[in-house]
Amino acid sequence: DTAVSQTPKYLVTQMGNDKSIKCEQNLGHDTMYWYKQDSKKFLKIMFSYNNKELIINETVPNRFSPKSPDKAHLNLHINSLELGDSAVYFCASSQVGGSDTQYFGPGTRLTVL
Amino acid sequence: KNQVEQSPQSLIILEGKNCTLQCNYTVSPFSNLRWYKQDTGRGPVSLTIMTFSENTKSNGRYTATLDADTKQSSLHITASQLSDSASYICVVTLGGSQGNLIFGKGTKLSVKP
């Protein structure tokens, strides 16, 4: 029944490592997003994908790369992790671009040591 | 500059009391305004969504209002319950094809017994 799921829920890793976070939605939505929520709880959009095309790409480091193998998945790859990457990352999906309600996943708490 | 400001930053109320959260925005062009509830450790969940022509929208004990002239919105919670303790985030969608979302920083509500 889970609409938007993310794995893993927690991720602890060392600086310099490469890691991935997976996201899947079973709502049949055509747009998926990645958000970063920092320690001050401020949500900031990182990427969105619509029909396998990147339509929003905020000023995030190119160490972050979204990959969408199909419409139901949008994975986030992070290379050369830095301390400042520690945050909670949320995946979300919606039906029509940014004008429809977004459904969020449970979040992945990333801690970089 | 497109911004969403929320007040207060945090609020503590007693169970059973009512409260009102405020959201002011300077987003243009405007498409819609959403209120999200985010429980600790969870992803945000949509409560209401209002377009330019809608003045009020209810979802159970939650009632949102929108004044598009003054660019203000409020979220009123009636007969608060302990489970209402969460962060409430105001989000405004930019008009246009990309529909970028502008997030407020949220109001952290604590309901005490």
Cβ-in-10-Å burial (0-12, 13-18, 19+) of A33 comes to buried
Instruction: Name the CA radius of gyration of chain A, rounded.
Output: 13
> pLDDT digit string (tens) for A12-62?
999 999 999 999 999 989 889 999 998 877 788 898 888 777 877 767 888
Name the helix (H) or strand (E) containing A33.
strand A31-37
B23, B102, A39, A103: CA torsion to nearest 10 = 100
Could you give the CA distance from residue A59 to residue A16 in angstroms, rounded to a whole number? 21
Could you give the CA distance from residue A85 to residue A67 in angstroms, rounded to a whole number? 18
Residue type, B47: L
- pLDDT beyond 70 at A92: yes
B99–A45 C-beta distance less than 8 A: no
Confidence bin at A1 (pLDDT 50/70/90): low
Q: What number of other Cβ atoms are within 10 A of residue B6's Cβ? A: 21
SS3 B57: strand
User: Is residue A101 less than 8 Å (CB to CB) from chain B?
Assistant: yes
Mutation to test the A interface, candidates B49, B101, B108, most A Cβ within 10 Å: B101
> pLDDT digit string (tens) for B9-18?
999 999 999 9
Cβ neighbours of A44 in B, within 8 Å: 103
